[in-house]
Amino acid sequence: MSPSVSAVTPQYGKADTPDRPAASPLERGQRWIEEFIMRPHERINREGAVCPFVESSMKAQSFRIEEWRVDPDIDAEGMVGLVRRMAEAFETTRWEGRNRVLHTLVLVLTGLPEESHRLLDEAHALAKPELVGRGLMLAQFHPDCDERAARNPEFEVSRSPVPMLAMRWMAFHDVLFLGSDPEWFAAYEERYGGRHERGSVADPMFAEAFAEARDKWGTT
């Protein structure tokens, strides 16, 4: 399962035409990022793009999208191993941009049967404690993904046309995803607790999520 690396800067305005061959999985992943992730959506319940950081990441030359082929017989343990290799690749990449928060690695996984898409969900759950302890955040995307938007639990925001994984460093807004576990929250509080204590939080949703987690788990 050695990765087939093909770093690409996504291009805007790409579309299939009668004289152009069918899009590859990498191209389909790029297009989904460009046409969905980087654009506003009424169901996201806030202004701005579905992910407001991708465009900034690209402008900072800190966005990489690669194609990794996997064994079609891979199991959950094997997928966790792939995630660990992804983390190693992420941490050792020489990023052009200096702002670590914008560093983003996206993998388009090829060779994975449709019935194995669930392995991305399982690997995400299994690897999350280890990754959060390293200050890393992982997201999974595939056609049947049940992950919901933080501000709209009815919006299945992570349903992509091809299976993908995305990794970045922990960011301030991740309190929305890390408050449900004491160790995850401790890792978040170590990095961003001071900012909350100073009251420099523009979005009340972040402040409320932090206060609720601290009430539940205490100060770490």
Contacts of 114 (CB under 8 A, 6+ apart): 143
Tokens of 35: 């046409």
Tokens of 107: 């993998």
CA distance 177 to 1: 30
Q: What is the pLDDT of residues 76-122, one digit of tens each?
A: 999 999 999 999 999 999 999 899 999 999 999 999 999 999 999 99
Given a cut of 70, is residue 6 above it in pLDDT?
Answer: no
pTM of the model: 0.89
Q: What is the pLDDT of residues 115-150, one digit of tens each?
A: 999 999 999 999 999 999 999 999 999 999 999 999
